[in-house]
Amino acid sequence: LTAKWSREQDYRLIKGLWAYDGNRIAVRFAYEWRNDAGAWYRSYGNENWEFATDGLMARRIASINDLPISEGERLFHWPLGQRPKNHPGLEELGL
């Protein structure tokens, strides 16, 4: 994670619940970030999580795609930190 966080700067994430059943959950996500050269990306995909009886994650499967975008194509505009409650989610943004 240290290498990931040093590579993906100004990271902003939106996740949306896709499905759940028992101890499994599936989410869609998208996040925007820039590299140290200033190039912007939108990474998006799906994650599946399975939890053990103690509540800890037992298994994670993720499919992630990185799409280069221009600064003008960015959709996630809020100060670093948690996404504000009034910021549109994935569906509202057409993602």
Are 11 and 4 in contact by the 8 Å Cβ rule? The answer is no
Residue 52 has what pLDDT? 97
Residue 57 has what pLDDT? 96
Cα 7 off chain centre by: 15
Domain coordinates of the chain in residue numbers?
Answer: 2-73
pTM of the model: 0.85
What tens digit of pLDDT does each residue of 36-91 get?
999 999 999 999 999 999 999 999 999 999 999 999 999 999 998 899 999 999 99
Say which residue the tokens 């509540």 belong to: 55
Counts of helices then strands in the chain (DSSP H, E): 1, 4
CATH of the structural domain 2-73, one choice from 3.10.450.50, 3.40.50.10090, 2.60.40.10, 3.40.50.410: 3.10.450.50
